[in-house]
Chains A and B, each alone.
Chain A
Amino acid sequence: MSDNREFIEEFLVESGENLDQLDRDLLALEERPDDPQRLASIFRSVHTIKGNSGFFGFSKLGALTHSGEHLLGRLRDGKIRLNGRVTGTLYSMVDAVRSILESIESTGVEGENDFRELSQTLAAVAAEDAPALAAAAPVAPAPVAAAPAAPEQPVTPVAAATPPAPALPAQPSVAATPEPTRQATAASDTSIRVDVGLLASILDLVGELVLARNELRSIDTVDPALEGVIHRINTVTNSLQEAAVKTRMQPIEHVFNKFPRTVRDLAVACGREVQLVIDGADTELDRTLIESIRDPLTHLVRNAIDHGIEPPDVRQAKGKPRLGRLTLRAFHESGQVTIEVQDDGAGIPVEAVRAKAVARGLVDASAAAALPEDRVLQFIFEPGFSTAAQVTSVSGRGVGMDVVKTNIESIGGTVDISSRPGAGTTVRVRVPLTLAIIPALVVRCGTERFALPQAAVGELVPLRGDGGPRIEGLSSAAVIRVRGRLVPVIFLDEFLSLRPHTACRDGATVVLVRVDEHEFGLVVDGTRTAAAAAHDQSRRTDGVRTVAEAASLSTIVVKPIGSLLAQLGIYSGATVLGDGGVVLILDLRGILRAANLPPVERKETKAAADVAVAVDDSYLVCRTGTGRRIAVPLDSVTRLEQFAADELQPVGGKQVVRRGNVFTPVIDADWLLGSAPAASEHAGSVNLVVLDDRCGGIGIAVRQILDVAAAESVLQPALAAVGIAGTLALGGLATELLDLAAVLPIGGALPADRP
């Protein structure tokens, strides 16, 4: 019997493929009922399964497929014509065969269900002379028990599942996926079947080879023969690694190919007309990731059909075509695979989501009112969130979207959602191409080393302390100015509690990284490529490492660190460097979350109508001496300073502070806003927000610099007051935006005449 096992497994795999082909053929046949080649292909598939089941003694399977073959024979001979009932019954047969195969796979036997009723239905339909396809409605295949050995699962006769009037049109059309042309025999032999475990072993071995190659590369030698060999091994290993990674890559078509059938069944079950368009099915990704996205994508498709696309009558009343459109699109983009599920339905009711978020206590009413639309839509990913008025059996139980997000994130991906009311919704899933071998940058922090995925690294900014870029602000709102933009930074040694805060950062490097749309900087001691890092002990070059030195790539093999440590959320794995040292790989998204940095997001330029909100709408939030919470647009800020109050000097009737040869006029914020009668006395230290030349290089003295934050609402100009342009929501609190136009005239003259 165990010898048989191997043949049975082959039978199962082959039959599975036959069934997939059957699904495709039936869908195509529904569209073009008079295609004799299609019918012949269907007949062949069923015949093959029937023959094989006889060989193995699977009598139930044999009886079922025998009835199916009989029906198909009648069709082929023109004794009956194709209609909804016929196709529905055939689909039921396909599902029934699938369930028997599943039973065989898990238990070795066919299971309790002999599908006698279905066989009778098949016989009955074969005997009828039913009207042709054009007039009848398509029928959802009757539910089939998926679990094997389920004794009480009557297959309801197909007629009972016919949806009630109004009658749906002939059939939901399914856009033709580019179909592999099918030969009667096995596919033409440019590919072979390989056991997945074997492939995994090969990839592991290649990984080991990469590590050994790294070690080899770090050996200094003057022997030209040895050098030559090392070089050759290096080249070959690179190519081998690329090829090995490719073996794990599969086109996403393997996931997409089930969807035409799924969409058809869902559309019928929900009473919709849906056209499925598939784009980019040949986009490749790692096979382990393919399995992980199958379920989330299925849920998204369900949502789109059940909640997104409206019933045909509703669509028609809105002036939309009755046929709804669902697009599955996949493409490569900046080192990731992006998959879009897009429908042209009603869109997501933003206000309903907003209200629901408040009702569930996720946010309070006033904060919710200030949130922009795309923030509101994020609530959909909260567990148990569903705005569906009625929970249908298809979806809307509210357990879906958070699971989708969790599943996608667990493989290192992201999901987000955008919607246009009345026009449709797009859900965008991004997953990494592969996880196994990545190019990395190794950074040093004290005596420890860490690795960063090269894909996330933007540029390296050395802190030389000679007037070049430097870190400004306090550790709670530390930023670095790079080519005109201010980027928040995290001190890696503080974040990981490696050593106490160091005031002096000369010789350090800021690694600018990008995670999704967020950019931030990691302050580290030095950077090395993975190969050069292995040399650190012996070759200490003093001074600062230049960007060029660290610019070349090196690949590392990503090893898992186990769930115990993975759940910390800040490490995505570990690797072994050429010198044998173990180095943790930082999870930048996790670090961003844990550090609680407000994002300095790049937003599209808003329409001119949205006046008074900066294009790069990030703000520096401060507290004045009287405790008022104010904000200054970040791109107007040149630098932040802190000095002792007694360094303020009166010069020409103004207060200034001197730094070397630079005199900066200082204006107290409260005095500017009219909340203090005269230039206030400052005690202790003064925090200064120095504005740029457009504002005369003036420094605004505040009591405390709080944070850097992105605007969470549009500016409310109605609340303008002296020196205030309006109010914004920042960090969840209402904040007054300083009116810079009010500041500028002050730089020139004594403001004796200000109220």
Chain B
Amino acid sequence: MIAQNTPIIPSASGYCCFLVGGDCFAVPSASVAEVLRDGRITRVPHAPEAVLGLLHLRGRIVPVIDMRRRLGFPVSILSANPTHLVLRLHDDWYSLLVDEMLDVIEVPADSIEHPSQPAADTPHDAVVGVFAGASQLVHFLDPQRIVQLPGRQREQFIHKQGATHGGF
């Protein structure tokens, strides 16, 4: 088990695994900046449903993505230990809220099977590969695709304050 609030040392073929809705997912360790437990989330009105809000992390403001919603799981079941997996992609930071953190595993690239047709614009569009782990199937996620919400989840923010015709 990874201790809370630890920085993850990046390694080329290491992957951080976690549970969401009972299934096992993984992202490259190299993209994970840290893992933390508690975090006060500030709501963002009109944000897409999958975005829970903002987290303040040592001077940085980080948007939090609810991985249940993102991956299309029902949200009614509450998790006991929701954990923040903080990703760093170039200069952008995001936090993934997952049900439970698992271990860091080493998987050689050629052991990962790739789906023939990546499912575009669905909650599973971020899945780029699978691996038969010891106890269960591990779904590999592309961090870049996680944070680009599929069209359906991206809310179009249009506000009409009663103007009955094309205003300005």
CB within 8 A of B45: which of A497, A563, A574?
A: A497
The reply on B167 being an interface residue by CB < 8 A is: yes
Are the C-beta atoms of B159 and A594 separated by less than 8 Å?
yes
* CB-based nearest A residue for B44: A565
Are the C-beta atoms of B149 and A574 separated by less than 8 Å?
no
Question: What residues of B have a CB within 8 angstroms of the CB of A570 in the complex?
Answer: 46, 157
Are the C-beta atoms of B61 and A475 separated by less than 8 Å?
no
The reply on B98 being an interface residue by CB < 8 A is: no
Per the 8 Å Cβ criterion, residues 559-614 of A in contact with B are: 559-565, 568-571, 573-576, 580-584, 592-599
Q: A476-B164, A497-B45, A568-B47 are in contact. Are A594 and B157 (CB under 8 A)?
A: yes
Q: A559-B60, A598-B167 are in contact. Are A495 and B54 (CB under 8 A)?
A: no
The reply on B22 being an interface residue by CB < 8 A is: no
B70-82: contact bitstring with A at CB < 8 Å (1 yes, 0 no)?
0000000000000
CB within 8 A of A476: which of B45, B60, B147, B161?
A: B161
Question: What residues of B have a CB within 8 angstroms of the CB of A582 in the complex?
Answer: 40, 42, 54-56, 61
A594 to B161, CA, bound (A): 9
The reply on B92 being an interface residue by CB < 8 A is: yes
* CB-based nearest A residue for B43: A448
Question: What residues of B have a CB within 8 angstroms of the CB of A204 in the complex?
Answer: 59
Q: Which residues of A contact B (CB under 8 A)?
A: 204, 207-208, 211, 448, 474-477, 490, 494-498, 518, 559-565, 568-571, 573-576, 580-584, 592-599, 706-707, 709, 731-733
Are the C-beta atoms of A560 and B157 separated by less than 8 Å?
no
Question: What residues of B have a CB within 8 angstroms of the CB of A518 in the complex?
Answer: 168
Are the C-beta atoms of A731 and B161 separated by less than 8 Å?
no
* CB-based nearest A residue for B149: A564
Are the C-beta atoms of A560 and B168 separated by less than 8 Å?
no
Are the C-beta atoms of A568 and B164 separated by less than 8 Å?
no
Q: Which residues of B contact A (CB under 8 A)?
A: 40, 42-48, 51, 54-56, 59-63, 92-94, 147, 149, 157-168
Ranked nearest first, the 8 interchain pairs of A and B with the lowest CB-CB distance are A476-B162, A496-B45, A596-B167, A582-B42, A596-B163, A559-B61, A574-B61, A594-B159
Question: What residues of B have a CB within 8 angstroms of the CB of A475 in the complex?
Answer: 161-162
A-B contact pairs, 7 of them (CB 8 A): A211-B59, A476-B163, A565-B54, A570-B157, A580-B56, A596-B167, A733-B165
A598 to B162, CA, bound (A): 11
Closest Cβ–Cβ distance, residue B157 to chain A (whole Å): 5
Closest Cβ–Cβ distance, residue B72 to chain A (whole Å): 18
CB within 8 A of B168: which of A207, A569, A584, A599?
A: A599
Are the C-beta atoms of B63 and A565 separated by less than 8 Å?
yes
Closest Cβ–Cβ distance, residue B94 to chain A (whole Å): 7
Question: What residues of A have a CB within 8 angstroms of the CB of B168 in the complex?
Answer: 518, 592-593, 596-599
CB within 8 A of A568: which of B40, B147, B157, B160?
A: B157
Q: A593-B168, A731-B163 are in contact. List 9 more A-B contacts (CB 8 A).
A: A448-B43, A561-B63, A562-B61, A562-B94, A574-B61, A582-B40, A582-B55, A582-B56, A592-B168
* CB-based nearest A residue for B55: A582
Question: What residues of A have a CB within 8 angstroms of the CB of B44 in the complex?
Answer: 561, 565, 571, 584
Greatest chain A CB density within 10 A among B60, B61, B62, B149 is at B61
A593 to B158, CA, bound (A): 10
Are the C-beta atoms of B164 and A732 separated by less than 8 Å?
no
A595 to B160, CA, bound (A): 6
Question: What residues of A have a CB within 8 angstroms of the CB of B43 in the complex?
Answer: 448
Closest Cβ–Cβ distance, residue A440 to chain B (whole Å): 15
Question: What residues of B have a CB within 8 angstroms of the CB of A731 in the complex?
Answer: 163-167
Question: What residues of A have a CB within 8 angstroms of the CB of B94 in the complex?
Answer: 562, 564
A560 to B45, CA, bound (A): 16
Are the C-beta atoms of A495 and B159 separated by less than 8 Å?
yes
Q: A561-B63, A565-B63, A594-B159 are in contact. Are A706 and B164 (CB under 8 A)?
A: yes
Question: What residues of B have a CB within 8 angstroms of the CB of A474 in the complex?
Answer: 162
Question: What residues of B have a CB within 8 angstroms of the CB of A568 in the complex?
Answer: 46-47, 157
* CB-based nearest B residue for A730: B165
A563 to B51, CA, bound (A): 12
Q: A565-B47, A597-B167, A732-B165 are in contact. Are A560 and B159 (CB under 8 A)?
A: no
CB within 8 A of B162: which of A477, A562, A581, A733?
A: A477
A565 to B42, CA, bound (A): 13
A561 to B167, CA, bound (A): 29
Q: A475-B162, A584-B44 are in contact. Are A565 and B167 (CB under 8 A)?
A: no
Are the C-beta atoms of A581 and B59 separated by less than 8 Å?
no
Question: What residues of A have a CB within 8 angstroms of the CB of B56 in the complex?
Answer: 576, 580, 582
A580 to B159, CA, bound (A): 31
Closest Cβ–Cβ distance, residue A13 to chain B (whole Å): 24
A599 to B166, CA, bound (A): 12
Are the C-beta atoms of B161 and A495 separated by less than 8 Å?
yes
Are the C-beta atoms of A576 and B59 separated by less than 8 Å?
yes
Are the C-beta atoms of A732 and B54 separated by less than 8 Å?
no
* CB-based nearest A residue for B41: A582
Closest Cβ–Cβ distance, residue B139 to chain A (whole Å): 22
Closest Cβ–Cβ distance, residue A210 to chain B (whole Å): 10
* CB-based nearest B residue for A204: B59
Closest Cβ–Cβ distance, residue A299 to chain B (whole Å): 26
Greatest chain B CB density within 10 A among A475, A561, A564, A599 is at A564
Question: What residues of A have a CB within 8 angstroms of the CB of B51 in the complex?
Answer: 564-565
A368 to B116, CA, bound (A): 52
Are the C-beta atoms of B93 and A562 separated by less than 8 Å?
yes
* CB-based nearest A residue for B148: A564
Question: What residues of B have a CB within 8 angstroms of the CB of A583 in the complex?
Answer: 42
A713 to B40, CA, bound (A): 52
Q: A561-B61, A582-B42, A598-B168 are in contact. Are A569 and B163 (CB under 8 A)?
A: no
CB within 8 A of A598: which of B45, B147, B157, B163?
A: B163
A190 to B18, CA, bound (A): 56
CB within 8 A of A576: which of B61, B63, B158, B159?
A: B61
Are the C-beta atoms of B59 and A595 separated by less than 8 Å?
no
A582 to B167, CA, bound (A): 33
A476 to B168, CA, bound (A): 15
Question: What residues of A have a CB within 8 angstroms of the CB of B160 in the complex?
Answer: 596
Question: What residues of B have a CB within 8 angstroms of the CB of A559 in the complex?
Answer: 59-61
